[in-house]
Structure 1
Amino acid sequence: MESNHGYTIGEEVYVKPTDWGVLKCKVVGFQVVGDKLPIVECKHPYKKGEKWKNAVDLDRISKTPVVKVLEWDIVEKTYEYKK
């Protein structure tokens, strides 16, 4: 199994995209170039039956349901996963 930045393929993680709340996702791979960020996949929050898949910055991913994001590079905001 491939692992980068402490994340492993198949691992369940929580992600805070810029335009949604916290999503429960699964790591499906890593970028091939650059920082080799985790690529996650989960159910699309608004489109039933569709999946959302994207590479995620390390400051927007967490192994716990609480994701702390540095907003505007000065204010840390805490977001929590809600079922």
Structure 2
Amino acid sequence: MATVTNWIDHLNKPADQVAGAVYPGAGSSEGLLVILAIIVWIGWHVLTSKSESEELERLARKRHGANDHKSNITDW
């Protein structure tokens, strides 16, 4: 937990007198979590792009005709 009891005094202190971050979990774990989040974010985009490309290729192979929508095709 943060040990700040008076924010006005804390914020008016010079930067060299502030004793560190005022929120829990600050430190080297933050950097690791950011790196992990970036890896997950990029991985999600790669997997999503791959699955959408496969789906679009599958639909393109079907070669629907101009009037196929009139036949109530459910897998359009």
TM range (shorter): under 0.3
Higher RCO (C-alpha under 8 Å, 6+ residues apart): 1
Select the structure that is richer in strand.
1
Larger Rg: 2
TM-score, scaled relative to structure 2 = 0.20
Select the structure that is richer in helix.
2
